[in-house]
Amino acid sequence: MSGDDDRTAPALPDEPVPLAQPVVRRPTVLVVGSGFAGLKVTEHLERLLPADAAEIVLATPTGVMVYTPLLPQVAAGILEPRHIAIANRAVLGRTRIRLAHVRSVDLAARTATLLHQNGDTATISFDRLVLAPGAQTRTLDIPGLAEHGRGLKNLAEAIYVRDHVLRELERANDTDDLDERRARLTFVVVGAGYTGTEVAAQLMRTTRRAAARLPRLDPADVRWVLCDQADRVLPGLSESLGRKAATVLKRRGVEVRLGISVERVEADRVVLAGETVRCHTVVWAAGVTPSPLMATLGLPTEEGRLVVDACLRAPQDEHVFALGDAAAAPDLTKPKGTLTGQTAQHAIRQAPVAARNVAASLGHGTARPYKHHDLGFVVDLGGLSAVADPLHLTLSGLPAAAVTRGYHLLSIPSIGSRLRVTSDWLLDGILPRQLAPLSVQSAGDATIAQAESTQIYG
């Protein structure tokens, strides 16, 4: 019979044997996305969590944070694309950056799958997950939209739109077919929110200037049509702002069609309810929808945004935090049930709160809820035209333009980028705008699905 009783007791060593040192693993905080919310929250986490307290990992497909409110000015050829892109590494220190999309998350195993641009995948473990993947262009099930509609949610799309409209002008100049010329000189923008309104207003100026330089074109033949299902311009913002923006659009010659929906998009036309507009350009700016990643988590969502409490934490999983456009956070300044708006203003301000609460969950400091009163909105219509309601005081014309540009300069989170944007604005005032297509992207790369990687989740 064998058993403990039969074992011979080992001889005691003369010298004490050193005990093996336990391996202390630092918890990993995984931040997803390097936009307004993701880059800022990572920066704050570096400050709040001592280096030996946690490893911080940022997973993001690009090495930059894009200052999206100025994308229409990139499309209009006013700003250089790189000037509104803030390098992640210029802001961050010890954070490990993984240049990849997070394609899926296994909350039970606390792992995430990374998808690199070349198709390679990798798995990463985390102890805290901070989700800030933002939103993407909201598309509808409209025939032809996926093939022919162009979004304006990232730099690649803004560069493509600029190039595309300039190419259309060249082709209009080139053709002897007057119907084709008219179609190529017609540009349709769907969505009269701030993005669509800025695009139509600013690109009308750009394309008329460019047309004036082409020998066979009359700038007056350039048409921009802005349409929306809603019954007014800037439907999400105050009525007075919408009225003032509509006046500027009218003065500039933009055709505004309200209360109208798109039925079909084809390569050379867009079919609106009751009307066909021949054109080769449809900029789709009809709102955004949260990153599809949020719906794959198995946690409650509201209109695709991950439900979080006022501390930006998922109530069903205390290891998960979310902020920015992809989070459904309660707005404590408004009636119960109201969510914070999907704006840069909220994304930036949620970042320090989320970082503080993640740190608190790891034993560093105390948590606090997010609360911020909206400061109003600015809409740059190009030149000296803008509308703005800072602190809910409606402005237009020069005062609004000054407030708008000042607001952007203060909000760009990098002194270098502020200087570059300022120099672009100054140079645009004194030099002729460079209006030649670069033709560096193919049309296939510029579909919304391709440019925004909407179909990688599964």
Ligand X SMILES: Cc1cc2nc3c(=O)[nH]c(=O)nc-3n(C[C@H](O)[C@H](O)[C@H](O)COP(=O)(O)OP(=O)(O)OC[C@H]3O[C@@H](n4cnc5c(N)ncnc54)[C@H](O)[C@@H]3O)c2cc1C
Q: Rule CB under 6 A: which residues touch ligand X?
A: 32-38, 59-62, 68-69, 71-72, 101-102, 132-134, 152-153, 194-195, 291, 293, 324-326, 342-345, 347, 378
**From the CB of 237, what's the least distance to ligand X, in Å?**
10
How far apart are CB 217 and ligand X at their closest, in Å? 28
Which residue lies nearer to ligand X by CB, 217 or 237?
A: 237
Minimum distance of ligand X from residue 385's CB (angstroms): 15
- As measured in angstroms, the least distance from the Cβ of 428 to ligand X is 19
Q: Minimum Å distance from CB 410 to ligand X?
A: 12
Q: How far is the CB of 433 from ligand X (least distance, A)?
A: 20
To ligand X, the closest distance from the beta carbon of 102 in angstroms equals 4
Q: Which is nearer to ligand X, 33 or 352 (CB)?
A: 33
Pick the closer one to ligand X by CB: 57 or 188. Answer: 57
| Chain centroid, CA 288 distance in Å | 9
Nearer to ligand X, 183 or 254 (CB): 254
Residue number, 172 or 254, with CB nearest to ligand X:
254
Going by C-beta distance under 8 Å and a sequence separation of 6 or more, which residues neighbour residue 243?
Answer: 232, 233
Rounded to the nearest whole angstrom, what is the least distance from the CB of residue 57 to ligand X in the complex? 11
Burial classification of residue 456, based on how many CB atoms lie within 10 Å of its CB (0-12 exposed, 13-18 middle, 19 or more buried): middle
Select 61 or 352, whichever has its Cβ closest to ligand X: 61
| 3 Cβ contact partners less than 8 Å away, ≥ 6 residues apart | none
- Tell me the residue nearest to ligand X as measured from the CB: 35
Say if residues 321 and 130 touch (Cβ distance below 8 Å).
Answer: yes
Nearer to ligand X, 38 or 256 (CB): 38
Number of C-beta neighbours around residue 167 at 10 A: 17
- Kindly tell me which of 61 and 304 has the beta carbon lying closer to ligand X: 61
* Nearest-10 Cα torsion for 310, 315, 321, 323: -40
Burial per residue of 327-365, b for 16 or more beta-carbon CB atoms within 10 angstroms, e otherwise: bbbbbeeeeeeebbebbbbbbbbbbbbbbbbbbbbbeee
Measured from the CB atom, the residue of 172 and 421 that comes closer to ligand X is 421
Q: Is the dihedral of CA 343, 154, 139, 30 positive or negative?
A: negative
| Cβ at position 457, least distance to ligand X in Å | 7
Nearer to ligand X, 185 or 311 (CB): 311
Residue 10 CB, nearest approach to ligand X (Å): 54
